[in-house]
Structure 1
């Protein structure tokens, strides 16, 4: 069997035109693993309310961070793909869960090259229903309908892999080593609390009570909250961060249901009010800078901090297309290819 790899990221509108943003938001928010309510309720909320009010505002936000080459997330993902391709001996395609290039287009690209054994690599360090799970579910649906001859495998959430923690820690250290910062905030994308409970394979462990994430359980394999806090813990240990100089929070929320807390915007506001003057912030739920990092954090977050009396606000870039990160991804791919080759020989 010929091997190939499909890197998968979130996605982006085609442009900052409100029509393109509306199309993208429609696909994204109608995903039952993003807004996990009955279809009628999701349709009413998304098509009846959100898509009639949000696209123009979101388009304005995208226009603030858009590059000449296009969407930062797409451009950075393509750069990573190019660097990884140079370090492996198998075809590497790129796809987005929403927008283009689609998952189907990515698989078609590999299929055209004769690939029938595909490693799907979701570019998300932590597992979540709305990220890793929705990618794998759609990929399997596409395989059954269009690529029945293909065989899929995937790389699980890599939030605690030593090589990932090493590169993430290094990227943070490079930005803060010369900073006299007072607080380092680890900001992760938020999810509704019910997603945590739905992903609990034990159906009883996850209580989001402040202690369950520290109590060993097989639920942690699919617990986004645990994996976020564990990422912070391992990086803090790697960098020898002092207790009280770092904090974990969750950004972005939609609707009125409870989402993971503490919220990043309120955390920034609180630290500003408490007299913190120098803050650094990193966003380890993303490997590529995007709207949520470049606009929501680097622009809106900084504005909140300054309004509350803060002076210096440093945003730490995502891993993007760093050479050491490309090397890690390539190593995972080469290791997978080697293992699969050994199986074939056996």
Structure 2
């Protein structure tokens, strides 16, 4: 019997410093998030970050928390419900960090008699710290706990026509309402070394502005290429004029070089150049979360207005959009045939 498991990032169980600290510990101790040797990672995370950051992060979560709980969890649950209504096989929801766990999601499917799992990381673009860590953990759990279960993982869907169509339509509705001077595609940032580590050719990626446009097998696992390709395909779909849209990367951590241009600097520069009406879409996420609601929707908005900008609008993630739920359900049903 076949079943599917949708997996998103995850969230603290509450906005308490204790729960946020527990969540950050699990998240930042993942060797695919902070990819340094264990002892160094433990020193940085447990010795420094967890002694300072949980309180600040808890305050940020409080700003965006809903009565029902974490926006990311609530929105993922809504999507899950709509997908289940349109699928012919059991579908469960899990989070890479926090609850419900991947292990619990697999267990629920096994309890329903599932012997073959379709694993769908809810990330359009592949990255070590997102798609890869989900796939690795799910396979590790299955190998140890359920050796007779088969897992098939769904690859990055950044360039799938149905995804691009749904994303473009959601953006178009917003553009018609706000009529911005510029549309910024802001993707979650990753360290440049992650791009180089994911290069299966070990030679193609140079992060020099040209390699992402030069065909290569490396693109299958190149986050940077896939982000720019998402922007490119949406721009073509919406007939956006050159110069009216651009790509940037947010949420950098530490002193190592991360993918550029940085979103915060880009937004400030737009305001200083006289752009008054700016719209931002965050296509690295399918569910609104701390990074979209607080970092972009609040902090970036404040920065833009402080520098002279007048209208700053954030385009919601796909969340539980009806067409998006149908798209995910179609992927599952096509696999299950």
Same fold (TM over 0.5): yes
Q: Which residue of 2 aligns with 1:155?
A: 154
Q: Partners of 1:69 and 1:308 in 2: how far apart?
A: 35
Alignment of 1:102-141 (within 5 A): 102-141=101-140
Aligned to 2:93: 94
Mapped pair 1:24 → 2:23: yes
Partners of 2:72 and 2:145 in 1: CA distance: 27
Distance across 2 between alignment mates of 1:194 and 1:113: 41
In the aligned structure 2, how far is the partner of 1:295 from the partner of 1:147? 39
Q: Per-residue deviation at 1:72?
A: 0.3
Taking the TM superposition and a 5 Å limit, the aligned residue runs for 1:189-204 are 189-204=188-203
Aligned to 1:185: 184
The aligned residue for residue 332 of structure 1 is 331
Match of 2:13 in 1: 14
For residue 180 of structure 1, report the CA deviation from its aligned partner.
2.7
Question: Aligned partners of 1:331, 1:180: CA distance in 2, in Å?
Answer: 32
Q: How much does 1:149 deviate? A: 1.2
What's the counterpart of residue 214 of structure 1?
Answer: 213
Mapping for residues 71-90 of structure 1, pairs under 5 Å:
71-90=70-89
Shift of 1:154: 1.2
CA distance in 1, matches of 2:116, 2:203: 37
Matches of 1:225 and 1:78, distance apart in 2: 29
Taking the aligned partners of 1:80 and 1:65, their CA distance within structure 2 comes to 19
1:174-228 deviations in whole A, cap 9, x for unaligned? 1011323111000000000000000000000000000000000000000000000
Deviation at 1:157, TM superposition (A): 0.1
Q: What does the per-residue CA deviation read over 1:3-60, in whole Å, with 9 as the maximum and x for residues that have no partner?
A: 0000000000000000000000000000000000000110000000000000000000
In structure 2, C-alpha distance between the alignment counterparts of 1:248 and 1:187, rounded to whole Å: 6
Distance of 1:177 and 1:208 partners within structure 2: 34
The Cα shift of 1:325 comes to 0.1
Distance 1:180 1:328 in 2: 27
What secondary structure is seen at the aligned counterpart in 1 of 2:177?
A: coil
Partner of 1:281: 280
In structure 2, the gaps of 5 or more residues are: none
Q: CA deviation at 1:170?
A: 0.3
Q: Secondary structure at the match of 1:295?
A: helix
Distance 1:54 1:144 in 2: 35
How far, CA to CA, are the matches of 2:36 and 2:45 in structure 1? Answer: 11
Supply the distance in 2 between the matched residues of 1:130 and 1:302 (Cα, whole angstroms): 27
- Counterpart CA distance in 1 for 2:178 and 2:93 is 36
The separation in 1 between residues aligned to 2:299 and 2:56, in whole angstroms, is 14
- State the match for 1:56 in structure 2: 55
Q: Provide the secondary structure at the position in 2 that maps to 1:120.
A: strand
What CA deviation, in whole Å up to 9, does each residue of 1:235-271 have, x standing for no partner?
A: 0000000000001000001110000000000000000
Paired residue for 2:321? 322
